[in-house]
Amino acid sequence: MSDTLSSAFADTKPHYNILDGLRGVAALTVVCFHLFEAYATSHLDQKINHGYLAVDFFFILSGFVVGYAYDDRWKTMRIADFLKRRFIRLHPMVIIGALIGAVMFYFQGCSVWDVSQVPVVALIIATLMNVLLIPATPGMEIRGVGEMYPLNGPSWSLFFEYIGNILYAFFLHKLSTKVLSILVLSAGCGLAIFALWGPLGDICVGFALTEENIIGGSLRLLFSFPAGLLLSRIFKPVKVRGAFWIGSFSIVVLSAIPRIGGSEHLWMNGLYDTICFAVVFPLLVCLGASGKTTDKVTTRVCRFLGDISYPLYMVHYPFIYLYYAWVKNENLTFIQSLPGAVALVAGSVVLAYLCLKLYDEPVRRFLSRRLRIN
């Protein structure tokens, strides 16, 4: 999910600090959304109910920053060089997320999934598949809950992120703005139809190899990534004060809105999702790109949130499995488990920062030198 959660700006171009900060805020809402899965029976009663929409914001932001960084460089840049850059930026955290998930696997057993009987060989195969971003078919899914990546669930969005980057390298960057607009409109209509009249009444899909997940996940990418790319071409900044705080508040509120319409009126929640991905999120990206940080505190907050956003997204979920098992095994209420929830969020942030400084940045520097990427 990066630049679902990454910074792709070219070194010679100014940085959008506020977009970095908003990406970090969205990553934190994802952690909270996943945390409350332990108390939900379905999306209908999930707290932080629309946290799944952060992925669509990430995809739009990814298209925007990739277009901003690379759209004007294709006369001198080869496709192989672009793909190397994206691999270096994205894949180290895919690997560490899979390894953390593998190490934690046998500590995450509960009544919902029994992992104690899974052979070590099966775990090794699952780890290699996750490291290589090969989706697990239902017969090879070792946790038994249908995820494409049972060791680190959020890896599914990186699978689609890679597809978006490959499409950009071979196809999307060549499109005129007019043709790109038609593609965005067509994909947006398809995703809206899925949201409004699809089987779920939402777009919380893409994480499994089922029909609705493949269709919905593909539509999420095919609208959001090109939409961000289109924004990077037509965006005109306007003067906005307090853009980071306005955007952060908006992301938190949009994520926390309860389910709309219930099981009787699925289309109502689908309409909410559609308004978010088609209207609000593009506006938030424009807002973040228009604003500037004017004080040291906000600048540091945005930089820190941007730095940890992608690592946080990629390392927190193995501990969500552990938290989920603890809550289910002990039959805890949220209040009873609140200290553990706070520790999970804080610990995930600390772990993300440590992974960034001790692993991700050094590995990326090493790979850049070895692959001769400037």
Confidence class for position 63, pLDDT limits 50, 70, 90: very high
| Mean of per-residue pLDDT scores for the chain | 93
8 occurs within a structural domain: no
Alpha carbon of residue 333 to chain centroid: 28
CB under 8 Å to 324, separation ≥6 — which residues?
37, 38, 108, 110, 112
With beta carbons less than 8 A apart as the criterion, state whether 235 and 28 touch: no
Q: Is 330 part of a structural domain of the chain? A: yes
Q: How many domains does the chain have?
A: 1
Is residue 5 in some structural domain? no
State how far the Cα of 317 lies from the Cα of 32, in Å rounded to an integer: 11
Q: What is the span of the domain harbouring residue 182?
A: 17-370
DSSP string over 244-292: HHHHHHHHHHHHHPPPSSTTT-HHHHHHHHHHIIIIIHHHHHHHHHH--
Would 11 be classed as within a structural domain?
A: no
Tokens of 119: 């052979």
Q: Residue 4: its pLDDT value, please?
A: 42
- Quickly tell me which residue has 């790319």 as its tokens: 229
State whether residue 197 is helix, strand or coil: helix
Please report whether residue 316 resides in a domain. Answer: yes
Q: Is residue 3 part of a domain?
A: no
* Residue indicated by tokens 């777009």: 203
Residue 109 φ/ψ, nearest 5 degrees: -80, 145
Summarised one tens digit per residue, pLDDT across range 296-340 is 999 999 999 999 999 999 999 999 999 999 999 999 999 999 999
Q: How would DSSP label each residue in 175-231?
A: S-HHHHHHHHHHHHHHHHHHHHHSSSSS----SSSSHHHHHHHHHHHHHHHHHHHHH
Report the C-alpha gap between 122 and 99 in whole angstroms.
14
Tell me the C-alpha distance between 174 and 63, whole Å: 14
Whether 10 is covered by a domain: the verdict is no
140-169, pLDDT tens digit by residue? Answer: 899 988 999 999 999 999 999 999 999 999
Question: pLDDT tens-digit profile of 210-235?
Answer: 999 999 999 999 999 999 999 999 99
